[in-house]
């Protein structure tokens, strides 16, 4: 009987191995469409653009790719010393520094307010604030461009209180601020929903214990709610920073980078380089943007890690 059992063990092992191979094959069949799509439209262009950044490839070299020369980091030096790119960098950082804190603050305040009302009221306002997020950015930009005109809604409202509003998008001093305000308005809804989910995940027992200890509403907010919301705040900060660093549609549709390049972003600058046929310089600019986003993400992770 023992010998019979030993004789069956190799067969069982073979059967288990065959089942594992079959399961792995089925898994790869389901994963294959994503792998092929990502490899074709993601990985290959990513590697190609990185290689392109170290060459002198231009539009005229497309038909003769073997005439392209390796230039090392010359394209990155060109990008980092180009006055137009540096101006685009300043515009982008201004957009991030103004937009991210304002969006986080307004979204958190709205989330706290909605968390204190009934579910039906909260659902109505949550949907209302989230509609701009799912609306096409081109449509939103076109509407806001009309609102910012001399005779638009904003200047009409300012005129009722005796303020003569400027032509917002035609003045280099106000164009970037106007675009930033529109971006803040559009992104509040998404951040608010994430904050609301974070608030609702805080156990009610924690707030009850704080109340028993004599903590007021303000103390509970800053000593309980904010510390427990740090992971959610980190998530929102990174999402907003990454999105704002790559802002492109707003200036492209509303001002095309003008006036006087006052609203040109890094992403728009990279797009213009490709449009003008400077493929290698455009690729280098894209990787500079990638590096900046990565550096900011690392800084934010370390900053919030010390407070969690």
Do the domain assignments include residue 156? Answer: yes
Q: What are the tens digits of pLDDT across the range 174-212?
A: 999 999 999 999 999 999 999 998 888 888 788 778 777
pLDDT of residue 80: 92
Burial of 192 (0-12, 13-18, 19+ CB in 10 A): buried
Same domain, 136 and 47: no
Do the domain assignments include residue 57? Answer: no
pLDDT of residue 4: 47
What pTM was computed for the model? 0.83
pLDDT of residue 120: 81
Same domain, 146 and 219: yes
Q: Which residue range is the domain that position 192 belongs to?
A: 74-305
Check residue 258 and report its DSSP letter: -
Do the domain assignments include residue 65? Answer: no
pLDDT of residue 68: 83
State whether residue 36 is helix, strand or coil.
helix
Do the domain assignments include residue 210? Answer: yes
CA distance 207 to 217: 10
**Pure H helices in 135-248:** 137-147, 153-160, 175-200, 204-212, 217-220, 226-228, 230-245
Same domain, 19 and 96: no
Do the domain assignments include residue 121? Answer: yes
Between 118 and 230, where is the model more confident?
230
**217, pLDDT greater than 70:** yes
Do the domain assignments include residue 61? Answer: no
**1, pLDDT greater than 50:** no
Same domain, 85 and 39: no
Same domain, 160 and 295: yes
**CATH number for 285:** 1.10.3720.10
Torsion angle, alpha carbons of 28, 29, 35, 36, to 10:
140
Same domain, 7 and 93: no
Q: What are the tens digits of pLDDT across the range 19-31?
A: 888 888 888 899 9
CA distance 107 to 185: 10
CA distance 170 to 254: 10
Q: What are the tens digits of pLDDT across the range 265-286?
A: 999 999 999 898 889 999 999 9
pLDDT of residue 284: 94
Q: What are the tens digits of pLDDT across the range 67-102?
A: 788 898 999 999 999 999 999 999 999 999 999 999
Do the domain assignments include residue 66? Answer: no
């Amino acid at each position: 009987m023992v010998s019979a059992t030993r004789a069956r063990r190799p067969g069982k092992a073979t059967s288990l191995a065959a089942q594992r191979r079959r399961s792995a094959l089925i898994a790869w069949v389901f994963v294959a469409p994503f792998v092929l799509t990502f490899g074709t439209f993601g990985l290959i262009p990513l590697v190609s653009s990185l290689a392109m950044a170290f060459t002198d490839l231009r539009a005229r070299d497309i038909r003769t790719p073997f005439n392209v020369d390796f230039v090392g980091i010359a394209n990155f030096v060109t990008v980092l010393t180009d006055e137009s790119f540096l101006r685009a960098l300043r515009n982008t950082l201004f957009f991030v520094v103004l937009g991210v804190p304002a969006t986080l603050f307004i979204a958190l305040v709205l989330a706290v307010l909605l968390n204190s009302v009934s579910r039906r009221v909260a659902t109505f306002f949550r949907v209302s604030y989230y509609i701009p997020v799912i609306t096409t950015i081109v449509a939103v930009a076109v509407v806001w461009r009309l609102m910012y005109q001399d005779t638009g809604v904003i200047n009409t409202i300012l005129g009722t209180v005796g303020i003569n509003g400027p032509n917002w998008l035609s003045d280099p001093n106000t164009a970037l601020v106007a675009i930033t305000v529109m971006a803040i308005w559009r992104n509040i809804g998404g951040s608010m929903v994430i904050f609301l989910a974070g608030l609702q995940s805080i156990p009610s027992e924690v707030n009850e214990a704080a109340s028993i200890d004599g903590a007021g509403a303000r103390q509970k907010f800053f000593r309980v709610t904010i510390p427990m919301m740090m992971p959610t705040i980190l998530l929102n900060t990174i999402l907003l920073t990454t999105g704002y660093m790559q802002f492109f549609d707003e200036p492209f549709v509303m001002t095309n980078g003008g006036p006087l390049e006052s609203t040109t972003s890094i992403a728009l600058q990279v797009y213009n380089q490709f449009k003008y046929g400077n493929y290698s310089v455009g690729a280098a600019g894209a990787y500079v943007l990638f590096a900046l986003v990565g550096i900011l993400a690392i800084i934010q992770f370390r900053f919030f890690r010390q407070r969690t």
